[in-house]
Amino acid sequence: MRFVSTRAADAPGVSLRTAMLEGLAPDGGLYVPEAIEPWQPGELSRLRNRTLTEIAYRALRPYTRGELDAAICEAVVVNALNFPIPLVAVEPGIYALELFHGPTLAFKDVGARTMARLMASLDTGDQPLTVLAATSGDTGSAVAHAFHGVPHTRVVILYPEGRVSPTQEAQLTMFNSENGNVRAYAVSGSFDDCHLLTKQAFANAEVRRQVRLTSANSVNIGRLLPQMVYYLHAVAQAQQQLGSIGAVTVCTPSGNFGNLTAGLIARRAGLPVARFVAATNANDVVPTYLATGRFEPRP
């Protein structure tokens, strides 16, 4: 499978390794698969017979084929997804997918842990890889835990001082006292300031010559693709609990809409979703853009 930039879909594609290690395409676009391989209808109707890791392997294999052996791809998902993701009934016809059973209690554990293990399996460079991420809380915690102890990798996380919860800060900085590969730094400013610093680093040619940089934010296709898995796993569990089901409606908490994008990719591959409902809080930049055409990021 090759990956192309959202800004130049007709340009030559790159490998998964290149897409993950570069993070962003040279033109500033995001890497996406050049094609989404569909699931066969018979496969989807038998999801109930598959475990979480079996579903993850099947979902990710089309995008790793040719770069990772099947056994390595299987080992990646088994090691990364070693916690349950149960579908729990709330009331008749309404279910909640519990994505808080990972090591940092955040849904981002799924993408971050899988990405870390994919990078470790794909990266064969001699120079250490530096993973640079800005966070307002749970992203940094998930990334720190996911990459902790991963060989040949160091992680730098920037977070806004005084603007994360005490629990999140404890998770972010828990590895700072070790002589390890993860460091978190408090920045005097907002999350946008942290994000700007990372963007400046990625845009600085001199920095890029001296340091092999990649991103762990949701712009990285290696973090986005694994998030398909829990949509598929949710439908599998619904089949187990209810028997034959039709197309479902999925309500997805949304900020930058990366989580929803993963669901849309799963739907494009054939997952029976009638519609998505994107639930946002006061951070409604994307809904405002869709309604008015004005894109106005704010802290």
Residue 295 buriedness (CB in 10 A; 0-12 / 13-18 / 19+) = exposed
Write the CB contacts of 208 (distance below 8 Å, at least 6 apart in sequence): 202
Given 22, 76, 108, 227, which residue is catalytic? 108
Residue 108 among the catalytic residues: yes
* Sequence-ordered alpha helix ranges (H) in the chain: 16-22, 41-45, 52-64, 70-80, 108-122, 138-147, 166-173, 191-203, 205-210, 221-224, 228-242, 258-268, 285-292
Write the CB contacts of 110 (distance below 8 Å, at least 6 apart in sequence): 80, 81, 85, 99, 102, 226, 227, 229, 230
Of 2, 58, 7, residue with least CA distance to 35? 2
Distance between CA atoms of residues 269 and 124, nearest Å:
31
Which residue numbers are catalytic?
108
